[in-house]
Amino acid sequence: MAALFDQSFDPSADKPQFPGASAEFIDHLEFIQPNVISGIPIYRVMDRQGQIINPSEDPQLPKETVLNFYEKMTLLNTMDRILYESQRQGRISFYMTNYGEEGTHIGSAAALDPKDLVFGQYREAGVLMYRGFPLDLFMAQCYANADDLHKGRQMPVHYGSKDLNFVSISSPLATQLPQAAGAAYALKRENSNRIVICYFGEGAASEGDAHAGFNFSATLECPLIFFCRNNGYAISTPTHEQYRGDGIAARGPGYGLMSIRVDGNDVFAVYNATKEARRRAVAENQPFLIEAMTYRIGHHSTSDDSSAYRSVDEVSYWDKQDHPISRLRHYMTAKGWWGEDEERAWRKQSRKLVMESFEKAEKRLKPNPNLLFTDVYKEMTPNLNKQKEAMWRHLQQYKEHYPLDLYEK
Amino acid sequence: MAAAARLFWRSSGVKSSFSGLSGALQSSLRVTPLELSPDCTTKPKTQIRHAAHFTYHPDPVPTQYGPTQKMNFFQAITSALDNTLASDPTAVIFGEDVAFGGVFRCTVGLRDKYGKDRVFNTPLCEQGIVGFGIGVAAAGATAIAEIQFADYIYPAFDQIVNEAAKFRYRSGNMFDCGKLIIRSPWGCVGHGALYHSQSPEAFFAHCPGIKIVVPRGPVQAKGLLLSCIADQNPCIFFEPKILYRAAVEQVPSEAYHVPLSQAEVLQEGSDLTMIAWGTQVHVMREVASMAQEKLGVSCEVIDLQTILPWDKDTVCKSVVKTGRLLISHEAPVTGGFAAEISSTVQEECFLSLEAPITRVCGYDTPFPHIFEPFCIPDKWKCFEAVKRMINF
């Protein structure tokens, strides 16, 4: 990349002098053809039976680390099942599962430093899970109860944690990409050896903000990992209606981004790619793009029935034959680190943990309605203060028409 | 988006900056930048532009903040940015073409003084600039973003309205981008037509979570910009570009603050209250003199300064005293911020009002090139409104 800008202006040489690109002349007409039939290869460390394919790529993680990966992926899966059902029963208003993408979350989160700043989209709960976000706080956010760090203001699954360096999720897609570039720039100036990781789906990558984020991060040399979860669908839209190039990874080089495509159902491949991208992002102050190929096994959200636009067979293939959790379990079983007994015990225990948090969250009151007015600005403005007082006068007069008893006093 | 504009303004901006330098600060304060261009004088009879629609009233020399220097508007901005970069090592300035000094010269010399990593060009992409700025601020640093013309802020509308404004609220105050400031040239300039003339403040006034500030001259500009930078909320700072060179006065060299959300009563009066912001304040001051001279009407002139959150108390207090309110802005009348002021004052001061609140604003058209003299709410339109209100 540096070479492009180092070349000096030399009017005597019979070679192109255009400032906009560094290239040779060519004397015949030839359009560059996109390489979409045989695209950027998909990096894999273990096969579908959990066998390491190339020993030199084996990260050789210790048993406790691998067990932790597995426990976090399955705990997320258990929480997903329970919260999905609770939405079906009308107990929370909305939910989005992470089925099939657990490996992308855990593998990448494990390769980061806990101080690295995370910007996400909404299907990255496993990153928080890996960093130790308590089940109680996941539940508090979904129930928007008085324990919710976000004070009940956002829809369910819009998590965030200052302590865990996970920036609060917002619904508008791809807005976090240029923001991540800005945050990475600020971290670079701090000399803190921290980087930023920014997750997004392949659909969000079509937004203008994705273009902005890629380009800004390259020109401003930001220590940043763009992590794309390419799961084949943006709600109902399949990827062939999303783009016609070779996925997202192929766009990286166009921006001057170091890019790689990995098997998103292979937690070790995700881990290795993220680890190396992090190492180089810190050392070289440059952005990296990782496209993790995966499959969205669940519905887009609880407001979506995906059988309206894709076949049950297709979903079943990924669920039964190429799932990040079962693949890691094969690996652990082969190592003799995991068996039926451990599986049964952990299933039971994880379910219990989730149910306990779930019941606690459901019983909790909602936050005080005053919190409707705070944090709009850092300070309470006179205008908002008046509106707050007006609301309370109104509630005083019409209290029987409002669910005041569900809220903290 | 701003590519065509860049070409247009870069050439003219540089040209006028040269003439600005050679002629020092222009003796006539009424001329607009492009009138200085030699190209404009080749056919004097047909090419002479319409006289500026306002007379700049310099602020009194501020004495409380130490030594002052003669500065025009853009120099006062540079001075504020200079003070900020000197005192806050996290502060960075970025946008399109800010590195060489900016198309309006607001960042001249700052890159040499503070380094390439603190004053830098971005790719040409407004949504990227604001998104990037939000990220810088979220990581705890001071982010001063420039949007080259307020007319080109709309590609960043989503980042401003959905992201910057809601960052603190939605995260329960865990994260914020309070250290973000977006500066942008604003308002009519004599010949800017549709995309170098706009006053988009009302679009943003409907958005809780941001602050919007428009100064009327160099002294206010520096003090208000430094307040925006110090403020812990994302701010949009609109700079009336017609004043960049035209407004000259004594400005303190050191940092000082003019409070946000505080209107300023520039001239006390008893018969009618006039509210405006930016360049229009100077139009109002002239109308107030005309009203006094020709009609014997005593006008109270108020510079609102902060559009959001705005200073209702000062405005309502004035209207309770005078009983009449005239609001004027360059932006189109329908959905303009005058509507908000008018409606609020009507609610708060109903018993004091002796005439309908009157809005003299831009027409509900795009901002035209050759028809600018007819479309702006100039002193004659405002004067006529005063006459009608007094005779109501």
Q: Would you kindly state where each structural domain of chain B is located, as residue ranges? A: 68-252, 264-391
Rounded-to-integer distance, Cα B387 and Cα A37, Å: 76
> Does the distance separating the beta carbons of B141 and A375 come in below 8 Å?
no
Which residues have a Cβ under 8 Å from the Cβ of A257 and sit 6 or more positions away?
A214, A217, A218, A226, A287, A288, A289
Residue A9 lies in a domain: no
pLDDT tens-digit profile, chain B (392 residues): 444 444 344 434 333 333 333 333 333 333 333 333 334 344 445 555 567 899 999 999 999 999 999 999 999 999 999 999 999 999 999 999 999 999 999 999 999 999 999 999 999 999 999 999 999 999 999 999 999 999 999 999 999 999 999 999 999 999 999 999 999 999 999 999 999 999 999 999 999 999 999 999 999 999 999 999 999 999 999 999 999 999 999 999 999 999 999 999 999 999 999 999 999 999 999 999 999 999 999 999 999 999 999 999 999 999 999 999 999 999 999 999 999 999 999 999 999 999 999 999 999 999 999 999 999 999 999 999 999 999 99
What's the pLDDT score for residue B45? 52
User: Closest approach of chain B CAs to the CA of A120, in angstroms?
Assistant: 13
Closest CA of chain A from B244, distance in Å: 29
Contacts of B176 in chain A (CB under 8 A): 378
User: Measuring CA to CA, which residue among B392, B238, B234, B245 is closest to residue B330?
Assistant: B238
Based on the number of CB atoms within 10 Å of its own CB, is A379 exposed (0-12), middle (13-18) or buried (19 or more)? middle
Instruction: Return the CATH class of domain B68-252.
Output: alpha beta
pLDDT, position B51 = 74
Q: How far apart are CA B30 and CA B50, in angstroms?
A: 11
Residue contact A179–B125, C-beta within 8 A = no
* DSSP 8-state assignment for residue A372: G
Distances (CA, A) of B368 to A47, B8, B189, B372, B390: 66, 17, 12, 6, 32
Query: Where are any strands of DSSP class E within chain B?
Result: 68-72, 92-95, 119-121, 143-146, 180-186, 211-213, 235-240, 248-252, 264-267, 272-276, 299-303, 306-308, 325-332, 358-362
Confirm or reject contact between B232 and chain A (CB < 8 A).
Answer: yes
Tell me if domain B68-252 and domain B264-391 are identical in fold. Answer: yes
Surface of B (119-148) touching A: CB under 8 A: 120, 122-123, 125, 127-128, 130-141, 143
**CB < 8 Å to B317, chain A:** none
CATH for A130: 3.40.50.970
Q: For residue A215, give its domain range.
A: 55-301+311-363
Count how many domains chain A has.
2
Closest chain A CA to residue B312 = A383
Residue of A168, A178, A219 lying closest to B170 (CB–CB): A168
- Is A399 found in the same domain as A332? no
pLDDT number for residue B21: 32
Answer yes or no: do A189 and B174 touch at CB < 8 A: no
**Residues A399 and A341 grouped into a single domain:** no
The span from the CA of B386 to the CA of B392, in Å, is 10
Q: Tokens at residue A272, please?
A: 């290795």
- Output the pLDDT for position B50: 60
Domain match, A383 and A288 both: no
Residues A253 and A238 in one domain: yes
Say if B368 is an interface residue toward chain A (CB within 8 Å).
no
* A183 contact B CB<8A: yes
Amino acid at A26: I
Q: CA of B142: which chain A residue's CA is closest?
A: A186
Predicted structure pTM score: 0.93
Residue A180 host element (H or E): helix A176-190
Mark whether A221 is an active-site residue. no
Measured CA to CA, the distance from residue B341 to residue A285 in angstroms comes to 49
CB spacing of A182 vs B171 below 8 angstroms: no
| Alpha-carbon span A273 to B347, nearest angstrom | 62
Q: Which of residues 16-75 of B touch A (CB under 8 A)?
A: none
Q: Which residues of A touch B137 (CB under 8 A)?
A: 182
Query: β-strands B119-121, B264-267: how paired?
Result: unpaired
**A262/A390 same-domain check:** no
Which candidate in B171, B213, B235, B348 is best for mutational testing of the A interface (most A CBs within 10 A)?
A: B171
> Cβ of B289: how many Cβ atoms within 10 Å?
15
Contacts of A377 in chain B (CB under 8 A): 168, 209, 211, 233, 309
SS3 category, B246: helix
Residues 6 or more apart whose CB falls under 8 angstroms from that of B377 comprise B280, B283, B328, B329, B330, B360, B361, B362
Interface contact flag, A182 B125, Cβ < 8 Å = no
Query: Is A8 in the active site?
Result: no
Contact A179 B169 (CB under 8 A): no
* Closest Cβ–Cβ partner in A151, A160, A374 for B175: A160
Q: To which H or E segment does residue A293 belong?
A: strand A288-293
**Full pLDDT tens readout for chain A, 409 residues:** 444 455 566 777 789 999 999 999 999 999 999 988 889 999 999 999 999 999 999 999 999 999 999 999 999 999 999 999 999 999 999 999 999 999 999 999 999 999 999 999 999 999 999 999 999 999 999 999 999 999 999 999 999 999 999 999 999 999 999 999 999 999 999 999 999 999 999 999 999 999 999 999 999 999 999 999 999 999 999 999 999 999 999 999 999 999 999 999 999 999 999 999 999 999 999 999 999 999 999 999 999 999 999 999 999 999 999 999 999 999 999 999 999 999 999 999 999 999 999 999 999 999 999 999 999 999 999 999 999 999 999 999 999 999 999 999 9
- Rounded Cα distance between B165 and B159, Å, is 8
State whether A248 and A216 are in the same domain: yes
What residues 291-350 of chain B have any CB closer than 8 A to a CB of chain A?
Answer: 309, 312-313
Which residue of A lies nearest to B173 if distances are taken between CA atoms?
A: A375
Are the C-beta atoms of A9 and A17 separated by less than 8 Å? yes
Q: Which residues of B are less than 8 Å from A167 in CB distance?
A: 138, 171, 175
One of A22, A93, A171, A307 is an active-site residue; which one?
A: A171
For residues A231 and A310, the answer to whether their CB atoms sit within 8 Å is no
Half-sphere exposure of residue B362: CA atoms within 13 angstroms, side-chain side: 24
CB pairs under 8 A between A and B: 156
Cβ atoms of B375 and B331 within 8 Å: the answer is no
Q: Enumerate the residues of chain B whose CB falls inside 8 A of the CB of residue A212.
A: 123, 125, 127-128, 131-132
Residue among A150, A158, A175 whose CB faces B163 most closely = A175
Instruction: Pick the catalytic residue from B53, B57, B191, B196.
Output: B196
Instruction: Answer whether residue A157 is part of any domain.
Output: yes
Query: Are A256 and A392 in a shared domain?
Result: no
**A150–B141 C-beta distance less than 8 A:** no
Contact A381 B162 (CB under 8 A): no
ipTM of the complex: 0.96
CATH topology of domain B264-391: Rossmann fold (3.40.50)
> Are A59 and A86 contained in the same domain?
yes
Find chain A residues with C-beta within 8 A of B163's C-beta: 170, 172, 175, 179
Nearest CA to CA, how far is A206 from chain B (Å)?
A: 14
Determine the residue of chain B that is closest to A179 in CA distance.
B135
Q: CA end-to-end span of chain B, whole Å?
A: 47
Neighbour count for residue A169 (Cβ, 10 Å): 26
* Interface residue B95 vs chain A (CB under 8 A): no
Domain annotation covers residue A21: no
Contact map slice: A 382-401 vs B, CB within 8 A = 382-383
Residues of A in contact with B131 (CB under 8 A): 175, 177-179, 181-182, 209, 212-213
pLDDT confidence of residue B13? 39
Residue A45, min C-alpha distance to chain B (Å): 34
Considering the domain boundaries, does residue A174 fall inside one? yes
**B171–A contact, CB cutoff 8 A:** yes
Give contacts of A151 with chain B, Cβ < 8 Å: 172-173
| B50 annotated active-site | no
- Provide the chain B residues 192-231 that lie in CB contact (below 8 A) with chain A: 208-209, 211
